[in-house]
Structure 1
């Protein structure tokens, strides 16, 4: 048991998303509708930062069974929601969030960069695939500012 805990400690910290809401975009007679889903996740290494991600989710029979491939488009907005504190040292291009968007080959991920010159955190969302990724992406930045009352 101790060996498994040691291995788990070596895995990168990746945030889990909480669904905030959704809207239907295409009605499906069988299975769930196609949707745009809005999710929130907190940066696991930066206290005081929450990111909001909107992305397409494919419905229908395949979507209901988890077999459909979701579209590559996504939008992201990250905000300072409290005092910013670094829990660990940050690495540029470090994965903050990752979710599978097809059964095997495609993922949507968010990576973080630290712009030292402008004292800002930059978050990039993109989709990749084992054979060929997508150039579609979105970026957001948060200036690191003092939090009121501190």
Structure 2
């Protein structure tokens, strides 16, 4: 019963996470059967911070297993977040709050983006990393956005 309640809570929280939009990709390894291995570039908007878009590049495993969604993607990722409009907060920000999450293996591995607010420097900091139920990866990337006034445009 606890498991069912936990799964229901996770499903209800899902809409609060950002969804990624594919910007483009490049092939890195040719596969005779199934899709090629590639690097994907995706964009997502922070659901609690209007005016911020993050760009994430990550490896996507191809081949038969990759085409069926059974392959495990590599842990490496890169992130760049930018101010794209006036910044407005939609609710209270919590340090380490998850803003994006994507499954990178059939069951146990995920890639996550979390946000921190450096109040002293008035800067938003985004961290991407991969974790696994038993053992995560120390590979990570970070980006920071100083919160600046946005010019009014006629």
| TM-score, scaled to structure 1 | 0.93
Q: Identify if the C-alpha distance between structure 1 residues 8 and 61 changes in structure 2 by more than 3 Å, giving closer, same or farther.
A: closer
Does 2:146 correspond to 1:143?
A: yes
Structure 2 CA distance for aligned equivalents of residues 57 and 10 of structure 1: 27
What stretches of structure 1 move > 6 A for 4+ residues in a row?
Answer: none
Q: Report how far residue 10 of structure 1 moved.
A: 5.7
Report what 1:57 is aligned to: 60
Aligned with 2:35 (options 20, 32, 35): 32
Q: Report how far residue 149 of structure 1 moved.
A: 1.2
Report what 1:74 is aligned to: 77
Aligned residues: CA RMSD = 1.5
Report what 2:123 is aligned to: 120
Mind listing any 5+ residue stretches in structure 1 that lack a counterpart?
1-6
Q: Report how far residue 9 of structure 1 moved.
A: 9.8
Deviations 1:100-140 (A, max 9, x none): 00000000000000000000000000000000000000000
Structure 2 CA distance for aligned equivalents of residues 113 and 94 of structure 1: 7
Report what 1:48 is aligned to: 51
Structure 2 counterpart SS, 1:61: helix
Aligned residues: 144
| TM-score, scaled to structure 2 | 0.90
Structure 2 CA distance for aligned equivalents of residues 81 and 10 of structure 1: 28
Report what 1:4 is aligned to: none
Mind listing any 5+ residue stretches in structure 2 that lack a counterpart?
1-8
Report what 2:4 is aligned to: none
